[in-house]
A and B are shown apart, each in its own frame.
Chain A
Amino acid sequence: EAGVAQSPRYKIIEKRQSVAFWCNPISGHATLYWYQQILGQGPKLLIQFQNNGVVDDSQLPKDRFSAERLKGVDSTLKIQPAKLEDSAVYLCASSPLGLTRYEQYFGPGTRLTVT
C-alpha cells in the first residue's frame, strides 16, 4: 500500500514570497490533515478535511494560509506572504473514516525555510 506522498521535500524562500505544498493521501482515506511542526515542538494541527469539506481550521492563520482539497483526494496548502516564523516542517496525514479508527498516517513532510 502506497503511503502519503508530499512534495516538495524541501523549499527555501524569502519572506513575503508565496509557497505551495502538495499532498496525496492514501487511497480511500476520507480524512486529510495538515500539520505544522516547528523545530523542537510536536506537530500542530492547521486544518482537517473530511472528503472535500473543512472540519476544523481553528488554528489556521487565515490571513496568510489557505488550503483546499479538490474532489476529496489531493490537497494543497499555500502560504502567501510567508513570514520568518513560518519556517517549519509541514506534514500531511490521512485517516480512514470510522468511529474508532483514529490512526493517522503521515507523509515525510516538507521542510520550509523562510529567509
Chain B
Amino acid sequence: DTGVSQDPRHKITKRGQNVTFRCDPISEHNRLYWYRQTLGQGPEFLTYFQNEAQLEKSRLLSDRFSAERPKGSFSTLEIQRTEQGDSAMYLCASSSDIGVAFFGEGSRLTVL
C-alpha cells in the first residue's frame, strides 16, 4: 500500500502527558498537511509543509503543539501537556504541488 500512513491509529493518554504522532506521506509528494477532526465536524487545517519547510500554521496550533518534517519525508506532530480538549482525530494528508490532497486513516487521540 503506497498511500499516506499514520501511526499510531489510536492513542489513549492521561491529561498532562505528551504524545507524538507520525505521518509517512505518499513518497513522491512534497507537500504534507496536518488536520484535526472532532466528532461531527469536518477536518480543520493545522499546519502545512513544503518539503522540510513549515509554511503555514493555523491559530488552532497552540504552543503546546509542534510539527516537524526534518528530512522532507515523514512528519511528526507532538502535543505536550495534553488536555481533554485535545481529544480528536489527527489527520495527515499529502499532495504534489498542484495535485489532490490524499489523506491517511488518522490517529485518534483520547485524553482522559
Q: Do A and B bind each other?
A: no
- On A, residues with C-beta under 8 Å from B are none
Residues of B within 8 A of A (CB): none
